[in-house]
Structure 1
């Protein structure tokens, strides 16, 4: 890996998703071991196999981040098969395309339980081993929806909460060698992005480019490097300038 950093063991939740395929690939190409965790073991194994097919090292695990018992079982399985982790990437999440009137309390809470409480469970479970070793990286995959707002309130609220959780946790990891940061992507080239959103990129994104999942992986790699040791509690936007544009003015 660049910067002379050692190889690490990285646990990625939501690893079978389109964005995480890029993250997994970049991490593995740099020599890191990727522990692919997803809701179904079959999906996780598919993600791990893609890493292995490219010459990387990967293992597959099932986890439901909305279930405390499942997260505990994941920890047991990871420690038995791979030992301690060095980096936790919280990427598991859902986008519930419901407007305010379409939501009920259960559907709103479900999004928060997966997108916000899920990462909290993962951090609370795996952080002690990072602290014990005196080095660790926690990378939360948030969204510009948590910065600007978004038409789907459960999603934007969950991502705003995740970014604020990131900022708040720097106190808990004071002096431990563990940093915690958020990556906030804009429109990412994954199957989740509907065509209507893709069509708006030239009008809404100053670079006129959709974000490639590989770029998210590159940013995660940088956060793991020694050069990023003093980046802590940050929301790192990777959105082509879309957030700044939304905040200022409409295109004439």
Structure 2
């Protein structure tokens, strides 16, 4: 498409040292770090009667703790950027129940972590925002039942599932100069799902 230089660093986001190494490698390769997008996430089904503590811990480690570790490692580099940006991928499920207590709690944690870090890093010129996708066509949706997917589609006013490109465009906006005075928000990118207009 547009071309450019990229490096690939396979990283286990539950390994704090590996996450720090990823940040160091990326900033070292390019000589700077301008944008951090935290997009790692998993879904483990089950409510309080089914989900084990091991499952809970794994989900929280990936969906929430890894974001904190990466932001902690990245902010000194981002502070040197003329326009440091952090974009955390949360979920509309941060604002509603019914999709598993661990997942919903982890994504609500992402939203409030984003707000707190935005307050802390704002004076350093770093913006920190969250994107809250609705139902997006990714591998995470593959295990969902037809009934669940039909209900999600019915509740989405735009009557289609999102695509990774939809989320990518929101990331590009929040990373751009057009979003230079936006920080601490949780932006739904959900086809209107949270609006509650369609029932």
Matched residue, 1:239: 190
**1:72 is aligned to 2:23:** no
Matched residue, 1:119: 67
After TM superposition, give the deviation of residue 172 of structure 1 in Å: 1.2
Q: Is the 8 A contact 2:119 2:184 kept in 1?
A: no
**1:58 is aligned to 2:9:** no
**1:213 is aligned to 2:164:** yes
After TM superposition, give the deviation of residue 87 of structure 1 in Å: 0.2
What secondary structure does 2:32 align onto?
coil
**1:226 is aligned to 2:172:** no
1:23-102, aligned counterparts within 5 Å? 29=1, 55-102=3-50
Runs of 4+ in 1 over 6 A off after TM superposition: none
Instruction: State the TM-score, normalized to the length of structure 1.
Output: 0.73
Provide the rounded CA distance (Å) in 2 between the counterparts of 1:236 and 1:80.
Answer: 31
Provide the rounded CA distance (Å) in 1 between the counterparts of 2:25 and 2:181.
Answer: 32
Provide the rounded CA distance (Å) in 1 between the counterparts of 2:32 and 2:98.
Answer: 37
Provide the rounded CA distance (Å) in 1 between the counterparts of 2:33 and 2:66.
Answer: 18
After TM superposition, give the deviation of residue 56 of structure 1 in Å: 4.3
Q: Is the 8 A contact 2:153 2:160 kept in 1?
A: yes
Matched residue, 2:76: 128
2:140 to 171, 192, 202: 192
After TM superposition, give the deviation of residue 185 of structure 1 in Å: 0.3
Matched residue, 1:165: 113
Of Structure 1 and Structure 2, the greater strand share is in 1
Provide the rounded CA distance (Å) in 2 between the counterparts of 1:59 and 1:209.
Answer: 33
What secondary structure does 1:103 align onto?
coil
Question: Could you report, residue by residue, the CA deviation over 1:22-60 in whole angstroms, capped at 9, with x for unpaired residues?
Answer: xxxxxxx5x5xxxxxxxxxxxxxxxxxxxxxxx443210
Please report the RMSD computed on the Cα atoms of aligned residues, expressed in angstroms.
Answer: 1.8
Q: Which residues of structure 1 form unaligned runs of 5+?
A: 1-28, 32-54
What secondary structure does 1:140 align onto?
strand
What secondary structure does 1:175 align onto?
helix
Question: Could you report, residue by residue, the CA deviation over 1:42-83 in whole angstroms, capped at 9, with x for unpaired residues?
Answer: xxxxxxxxxxxxx44321001111111111222332244333
Provide the rounded CA distance (Å) in 2 between the counterparts of 1:129 and 1:77.
Answer: 12
Instruction: State the TM-score, normalized to the length of structure 2.
Output: 0.91
